Structure 1
Amino acid sequence: MVQLKNLLPEGVETLYGDEYAFKDEILNNVKNTFRSYGYRQILTPTFEYFDMYKEMFGGINFRQMLKFISPQGDVMVLRPDATIPVARMAAKNTRDKDEYLKFFYTAPIFRQLEAQKGDEREFLQAGVEYFANPNPECDAEIIAIGIKTLLDNGIEDFRIDLGQVGYLGSLLEEAEPDQQVRKQIIQLIESKNQGDLRSYLDQRSMDDRYKELILNVVTMYGNPQEVLPLAQTCAINDGMKKAIDNCEEVVRILEDYGYGKYIIFDLGFTNPLNYYTGIIFKGYADNFGKAIMQGGRYDQLTMNFGIYKPACGFGININYLVEIVSLIKAKDTVICYTDYLILYEKISRKQAITIAEKLRKQGYIVETNELTDINRQAYLAKQRNIRDILVVEKNELNVIEVIQNGVTNDIKEILNRG
């Protein structure tokens, strides 16, 4: 019989030493990028009442939620989405409906994905959310932050796929009154299977003009300078025209940032988190098959909490980001290290502790231990990436260099500075 105590659940990870430090370094880079645009860090609960998501318009598929029962008998859910609780915070903690808010977060996300083995049930996500700004400048800033986040972590070969919920939505609202049929059409468009889409449309008593326009949406993918003029000529109502006008303005602003070269338009993609109402986007790194980031505009979400605050934001999967960056950076990069290991005889312990504190005050990483077997301790120090050993015995201080190009051997000069 398999002993579960010795196994990790599927879809989770453990990290140690250099692996954790590598991930932490990347996460700090991401947070610094977010802060540089004026976003302020927040924290939301790890678990919520299931009712919040059950009653939420455009929320998460219930089957993807990891649920449990509280001691009081309430159905709870581990955080399956970061945007919804952040939207609640924006709605509940605002003094003025027009007050703009710029939040960022880092949080574990939990989902019970139905796909194959190997999917993540828990992953770290970081994201930004900008509330009370309905303008394309806000949309462009959010996308620009996503691009800057990738660049700041050394990723240069990537693309951002942009779509617009309002374009396809306005077309389908005019062409098809049945909401379930519209939902099925969207799923077929998302799959990019024109044959299945055409077969399904042929079964509907829909005007042929609408059928051709819907089929055209699948092909609206590529350079903005080519896709947007085509989409504009196919726009048959004000909603579609307004959506393309918005896209064109967002692209112009992104070009002002110098980021136009990263943009690809795909008017046929949607997002399963269907609270989005305008611009939507996904980010893909070259030679990595999954979307590393996704987001968009969601103007109605805060209405679930009693206030209207149009908003735009995105989330980036930090686990994926780490995986991509690890392919770019040298494999032998040492992240975890110790500057000094101080070994001491018992009679010299107080002196060793005093030396260690002086070094720590100057920013050095210092470990202390009793001197036992210097050869064995030097070997273990090398395994831990310790750069120098200081030996304190009989009130004398000696230095053993463990790793080539260690910190320094002039320890007395350093201690005099302290």
Structure 2
Amino acid sequence: MRNYDLITPEGTKDLLFGECIIRRKIENTLLELFKSRGYSEMITPGLEFYDVFNLNSRYFPQENLYKLTDSKGRLLVMRPDSTMPIARVVATRLRDAVLPLKLCYDQTVYRTEPALKGRSDEIVQTGIELIGSQLKIADLEVISTAVDSMKALGMEFSLEIGHIGIFKELVGRLEATDKEKERIRKLIENKNFPALNDLLDTFGSNHITDALKKLPALFGGAEVFEKAEELMPDENIKRLLDELREIYEDAAELCGNDGNITVDLGLVNKTDYYTGLIIKGYLEGHGDEVISGGRYDKLISEFGYDIPAIGFAVNVNAICKVVEKSGIFPAVPSPDAIVFAESGCEVEALRTAQELREQGEVVEMALFDDLESVREYAKERKIGKVVVIDGENEEEEA
């Protein structure tokens, strides 16, 4: 008995007509912007060996991966992330390429989050990776590209920046297991203050636990840095704060000080291959981030090539949801003309249609055996011109 032949798997959906137009417009707008800044597009396989995502750091829990085997019994996964496969390519096929490398992509990733309702397991990501530079200008270029990506889509947005090193510096001084550290990270990310306080209380009261308790509340403008320095009078953390402050001030100036860029020291991304700057972007009317990225200076070294990198991905699905929420879908364009062939005139009709297309028109062939049906169809589809080929005269109707 077939139970699932008329539905799609959880976390996926069919896209029709106007939805496809929205998605392609977003993808094309972003890719054109990236390429205008010197980024070259690349595509990695939808299927990767599990080993690519099973490095020492285990960035992706295997329960979140879609897994299958190949004809030799080797374990494969459907690509859950674009950055790690690109890191693999850089460490192998692009190892001798001139640095810096500026790469962009537009591809789908697959992840399962069983606990989430309304989730997307099939996510279109369009993004960039700037590889081979640790300079501040690289960080600022990526931030400005993220800002311009949102501006290009014509939507109200906000961009948050943070530094994962601050959290790692603090949590690394706790006598905690990896599982406990991950629990602390998740509570900070979700800004769950009561549960975070309860968990940190089990480690006693000291300046480390006090700082971690207040980390999710440290967000806003330039005043965040003063509050953080008072809370964490530590030379290593002060150095990280100074680094982030410099980037924040330059980014705010670069983007016109219009209030779209804020600091959030509670940014502690789940994908913990990030080592420094963290970037998250949000659109008005959508609670989840639509841009996520940052600096990952150690990831490519796990593939045997030690070079720094920074990048971000735009969640195209999330932007589509914001557009669709307005209820205004773009009209599906109608063909300019439809060509009807009387019996025996099919070849001539096909040639006529091609000639019209070469003139720049969108032309459809009529798949009816009587002219009245063609006229009704053209009226329904709002096709402005009917071309009739009868072997003797070519007739056009408005």
Instruction: Calculate the TM-score normalised by the size of structure 1.
Output: 0.87
- Whether 2:98 is the aligned partner of 1:101: answer no
**1:245-275 C-alpha deviation (Å, 9 max, x unpaired):** 2222222332343254211211012111111
Q: Tell me the residue number matched to 2:275.
A: 277
CA distance in 1, matches of 2:374, 2:56: 59
Identity of matched residues, %:
28
Q: Give the match's secondary structure for 2:11.
A: coil
- 1:391 and 1:399 in contact (8 A); partners too: yes
| 1:77 Cα deviation after fit | 0.7
Q: Tell me the residue number matched to 1:53.
A: 53
CA distance in 2, matches of 1:68, 1:329: 38
CA distance in 2, matches of 1:80, 1:259: 36
Q: Tell me the residue number matched to 1:65.
A: 65
Q: Give the match's secondary structure for 1:89.
A: helix
Which residue, out of 346, 350, 353, partners 1:353?
A: 350
CA distance in 2, matches of 1:172, 1:103: 33
| 1:326 Cα deviation after fit | 3.3
CA gap of 1:251–1:392, structure 2 versus 1, over 3 A, is same
- Whether 2:242 is the aligned partner of 1:228: answer no
- Whether 2:162 is the aligned partner of 1:172: answer no
- Whether 2:340 is the aligned partner of 1:343: answer yes
- One-letter code aligned to 1:252: E
Question: Greater CA deviation, 166-175 or 40-49?
Answer: 166-175
Q: Give the match's secondary structure for 2:311.
A: strand
- One-letter code aligned to 1:354: R
- Whether 2:373 is the aligned partner of 1:380: answer no
**1:10-36 C-alpha deviation (Å, 9 max, x unpaired):** 211222333323322221111111111
Gaps of 5+ in 1: 402-418
Q: Give the match's secondary structure for 2:384.
A: strand
CA distance in 1, matches of 2:141, 2:240: 18
| 1:171 Cα deviation after fit | 2.5
CA distance in 2, matches of 1:310, 1:257: 24
| 1:161 Cα deviation after fit | 2.0
- Whether 2:158 is the aligned partner of 1:159: answer yes
- Whether 2:132 is the aligned partner of 1:135: answer no
**1:62-113 C-alpha deviation (Å, 9 max, x unpaired):** 1000101222111111111111001111121335587110111111111121
Q: Tell me the residue number matched to 2:191.
A: 192
Question: Greater CA deviation, 319-328 or 72-81?
Answer: 319-328
**1:210-259 C-alpha deviation (Å, 9 max, x unpaired):** 2322222222011x222123223434333312221222222233234325
| 1:158 Cα deviation after fit | 1.6
Q: Give the match's secondary structure for 2:181.
A: helix
CA distance in 1, matches of 2:176, 2:369: 81
CA gap of 1:200–1:326, structure 2 versus 1, over 3 A, is closer
**1:291-312 C-alpha deviation (Å, 9 max, x unpaired):** 1121111100001111111111
Matches within 5 A, 1:202-281: 202-205=201-204, 208-222=206-220, 224-258=221-255, 260=257, 261-281=259-279
Question: Greater CA deviation, 31-40 or 348-357?
Answer: 348-357
Q: Tell me the residue number matched to 2:181.
A: 182
Which residue, out of 293, 296, 313, partners 1:295?
A: 293
- Whether 2:304 is the aligned partner of 1:334: answer no
CA gap of 1:389–1:327, structure 2 versus 1, over 3 A, is farther
CA gap of 1:265–1:334, structure 2 versus 1, over 3 A, is same
- 1:297 and 1:313 in contact (8 A); partners too: yes
Question: Greater CA deviation, 251-260 or 141-150?
Answer: 251-260
CA distance in 1, matches of 2:97, 2:346: 62
- One-letter code aligned to 1:397: E
Instruction: Calculate the TM-score normalised by the size of structure 2.
Output: 0.91
CA gap of 1:41–1:218, structure 2 versus 1, over 3 A, is same
Question: Greater CA deviation, 289-298 or 17-26?
Answer: 17-26
CA distance in 1, matches of 2:273, 2:395: 65
Gaps of 5+ in 2: none
Q: Tell me the residue number matched to 1:305.
A: 303
Q: Give the match's secondary structure for 1:5.
A: coil
Q: Tell me the residue number matched to 1:10.
A: 10
- 1:130 and 1:312 in contact (8 A); partners too: yes
- 2:144 and 2:255 in contact (8 A); partners too: no
The structure with more helix, counted as a fraction of residues:
1
- 1:163 and 1:268 in contact (8 A); partners too: yes
Q: Give the match's secondary structure for 2:80.
A: coil
CA distance in 1, matches of 2:304, 2:59: 17
